[in-house]
Amino acid sequence: MVIPVQILILGAGGHGRAVCEAARDSGFAPRGFLDARAPLPPMLGLPVLGDEAAHDGGPLLIALGQNRLRLEAAARLGCALPVLLHPSAVRARSAELAEGAVVMPRVVLGALARIGRLALVNTGAIIEHDVVLEEGAHVAPGAVLCGGVRVGARAMVGAGAVVAPNLVIGADAVVGAGAAVLADVPPGAMVAGVPARSQGN
């Protein structure tokens, strides 16, 4: 008999609710939420126990949608960061997930894909063979990263975007929803459209 892992969730917003449901599906037993906006009413039948000061040192799922905030919270709290891999995800045996990575329902992780620490792969995204997501990156729902793509630390690939093979999305870059990325994206840049072009930042 497998005993569910007791866990707290940092963040009681929309992403926190999604993480809570995914955690329940994945063998975790969430005990409650932590949120800087506490006190808050119960969420999904669980109490909001307080802000980070209420953390008891146990394992934590960090459910903050902003990439930088996830990493900063992990640095402050210094606790165990389990991997959350939803059971509906399709994971190649050679795909690797670092601590704190979150892989939501119906994701596909191809051969030798590497999902970095506290990276987030959202619902229905496709991460093809040899793709690398660096620390704190986020691939939004329905995005497709073709083989060999590298996404830099804290970068964001928007919902429904497609990134052509072997390209690099630089650290802190943002790819807009529905974009078709056909060239490398420099660090910190924002691109959108079909084909994706700089948005002048």
What residues are labeled active site?
129
> CA-to-CA distance for 50 and 108, rounded, in angstroms?
35
Instruction: Assess contact for 48 and 31: CB atoms under 8 A.
Output: no
Query: Which two tokens mark 50?
Result: 């307080």
Angle at 114 between CA 172 and CA 194, to 5 degrees: 50
CA distances from 72 to 43, 66, 75, 133 (A): 24, 10, 5, 18
Residues in the chain: 201
Segment (H or E) for 108: strand 108-109
Q: How many CB atoms lie within 10 A of CB 193?
A: 13
Spatial separation of the C-alpha atoms in residues 80 and 57, rounded to whole Å: 8
